[in-house]
Amino acid sequence: MVIDAGNTLIKIGIYKSADSMLFMTQAGWAPDWIIGLIKKYPGIRNCLVCSTRDLPAWLPGLFRKENMKYNELNHLLPLPIKIGYETPETLGKDRIAAAAGAADRYPGHFVTIVDAGTALTIDLVSDKGLFMGGNISPGMRMRFSSLHQQTFSLPEIEPADEVPVIGRNTREAILAGVVNGIIYEIDNSINSLKNKYNDLHVILTGGDAPYLSGRLKNTIFVEENLVLSGLNAILRNFSL
């Protein structure tokens, strides 16, 4: 069992070796939910958690009671990648897990991970499995919200299927500015990295991946549950 507790949702994945058996999401922690999954899949023996939020105090005890090994991801655990970040203790755990998942999917290649979630992160893993660093900027919905919250008159809008190149009214102007801006940012970042690393692969993940994937000019692989896949790769390669 692997758990990705992000800013918006808690995702759980059940894996057998490299194969996923189940993905589930929920807004908050619920012991009955986790216990139900353990009872449904009695062969589960390990759990690795990646969390950007506070973990409930009852969580470790629940797994101990079920005779399961339990670990919380951090940069000090044995990992299938190396961390080249100057401050690994400040590196987001979700970024570590996503990097592990990317290196596992494309071993021996440079990989860029574009995580379009609450924040937009663009990270790079080398062909030797070294996490080289990355960029952090506001995610799409954060950009919409900040325009509304940090001004007196701009409305807060939602993403739409049709996005104009330029807006003819305030709603369209915000939509075009935010969506096109994040697309340009992602595409230009990918192009800059491709100019340096010829064999670069690109993985798009995160909650806004389905919305953005068809709008990007670059060829990408979409894996919405890359963090879960990375957590599974860590468990699969090391006995924690």
CA dihedral for 191, 204, 87, 200, sign (positive or negative): negative
- Radius of gyration, CA atoms only, the chain: 19
Catalytic residue among 4, 94, 104, 115: 94
Q: Rounded CA gap, 73 and 89, in Å?
A: 12
Run of H or E including 134: strand 130-138
Q: Rounded CA gap, 35 and 64, in Å?
A: 12
In the numeric block, which tokens belong to residue 124? Answer: 């790079």
Q: Rounded CA gap, 102 and 171, in Å?
A: 37
Asked about 94 being catalytic, the answer comes back as yes
The residues, any chain, with a CB within 8 Å of residue 114's CB and separated by 6 or more, are: 120, 121, 122, 186, 189, 190, 202, 203, 204, 205, 206, 220
At 93 the three-state DSSP class reads helix
* Backbone φ, ψ for residue 6 (5° rounding): -90, -170
Q: What is the DSSP string of 10-35?
A: EEEEEEETTEEEEEEEESS--HHHHH
- Catalytic positions are 94
